[in-house]
Amino acid sequence: MGISNLKVIILAAGRGTRMKSDLPKVLHPVCGVPMIQHVVKAARSVSRHKPLVVIGYQAELVSEELGTTVDYVLQEKQLGTGHALMMAGPHLGGFPGDLLVLYGDTPLITEKTLIGMVAEHHKAQAGVTVLSVEVDEPTGYGRIVRDKNGDLQGIVEEKDASPTEKKIKEVNTGIYLFDCQELNKSLNQLKPDNAQGEYYLTDVISLLVTEGKKALAVLSGKSEEILGPNDRKTLAETDRIMRRRILDYWMMEGVTIIDPSSTYIEDQVKIGRDSIIYPGTFLQGSTEVGENCQIGPYSQIQNSLIGNGSLVRFSVLDQAKTGQGVNIGPYSYLRPGTILEDKGKIGGFVETKNSQIGEGSKVPHLSYIGDCKIGTEVNIGAGTITCNYDGYSKHQTVIGDEAFIGSNTNLVAPVNVGKGALVGAGSTITKDVPASALALARSRQINKEKWYRRKKD
């Protein structure tokens, strides 16, 4: 449900130059989802209020991604974290509760950590609380400076830190919790007196301490949660950690994953219990896999629905939908618009596109089925092609229930094959076939006796 007296602001105005990309850093995907979406998800889990997102570099792209799920603050010039909250002032004025500050490039932060931080903040009746972690290599992070009693005294940024302060291994995660009213007072006192000429939000802590407010640093034991990708190398590491979380979740939900190190499941995927995921499998986008399925090995399924009790081996599915108990592969490609109904089969080396294949129907091997509607209990012989494109437009083929299409048949659309009809192998069908009819469309066989011997002589 979230906390009613808590607002969340997400700072996402920067470019992320070390990513060497025209895309804003916060839009780079982690397990198939732009990293800022992971942060928004965490924000919505702890607060009942719509998150507030500070945007700047390519703001239109960020707002296009997030849509109306958040409110926005535009920071045209990126003059520091303190400046970002100054720009948000009109949205925060008068709010009687707390403000949680998150960053759009920390996708690994969890609801559990944030809830724990809020609890410690209220327990200590603090004016400000900082989430900190200890790291072996603190270079680049702001250092947590404590007084002799261990209480938080301030945060020193890397470029402003003394040699002694640079040795401190407890660092700032960039995640803060403020009493909103106290924060608004302190923001008015910020000055850009530092090497960067920016307004540091960390300076607010020193101001609050000077005014006698309680400052708290909550040390988290999960340093991975603050990992914010600054380049493609750390982006890959972040993706690896998130992917393992996803795999662990599904295994705990009753899904068997044979080899987690070679299995890739994105954040929005759903899988039913007692399904088995074999090595080399990619489940991407909004894919949903039912119960008691066997997926893989070496299959890629994106934005597709797989019914209960289905088998998919060595195949690619893109925006396809199947019923229950289907059998797909090996080496088949189900393109967008493919619907395979209950107990249907698409066998080896088959490609389908924008086609509905009825219950119990089979396309066993070596066929192309495009812009086609196939009824129930139909058998499609090997090498069958629906010739759906005439060079200008796409046309549909309709095959009735219980029809049998012989091997190596060309069905030149638009064309209809009636219920229970049989098309002889090797035919090229250009006209409709009536129900229960036998259609043959091939040249008469001619044998020339001893022709090969005469040619050889």
Q: Taking the CA atoms of the chain, what radius of gyration do you get in angstroms?
A: 31
20 forms beta bridges with none
Q: Positive or negative CA dihedral for 217, 221, 225, 227?
A: positive
CA distance 376 to 364: 15
Pick the closest to residue 331 from 314, 351, 352 (CA basis): 314
Query: Within a 13 Å sphere around the CA of 369, how many CA atoms are in the beta-carbon half?
Result: 36
User: What does the DSSP assignment read for 174-187?
Assistant: EEEEEEHHHHHHHH
* Per-residue tokens: 34: 């732009």
Output the CA–CA distances (angstroms, integers) from residue 347 to 179, 288, 335, 352, 420, in the order listed. Answer: 62, 21, 15, 11, 22
Compute the half-sphere exposure of residue 97: CA atoms within 13 Å on the CB side of its CA: 13
Q: Which one is catalytic: 28, 38, 83, 365?
A: 365
CA distance 71 to 52: 5
Q: How many CB atoms lie within 10 A of CB 45?
A: 16
Quick check: 361 and 343 in contact, CB under 8 A? no
29-30/33-34 β-pairing = antiparallel
Distance CA 389, CA 398 (A): 15
* Active site (annotated) includes residue 49: no
Q: Evaluate the omega torsion of the peptide bond into residue 330 and state whether it is cis, within 30 degrees of 0.
A: yes
Contact call for residues 284 and 266 (beta carbons, < 8 A): yes
Greatest pairwise CA separation for the chain in angstroms: 111
DSSP string computed for 338-397: -EE-TT-EEEEEEEEES-EE-TT-EEEEEEEEESEEE-TT-EE-TT-EEE-B-SS-B--E
Residue 253 phi/psi, 5-degree rounding, is: -90, 5
Q: What is the DSSP string of 93-143?
A: TT--SEEEEEETT-TT--HHHHHHHHHHHHHHT-SEEEEEEE-S--TTSPE
Q: What b/e sequence results for 82-95 when a residue is b if at least 16 CB atoms lie within 10 Å of its CB, and e otherwise?
A: bbbbbbbeebbeeb
The catalytic site residues sit at: 365
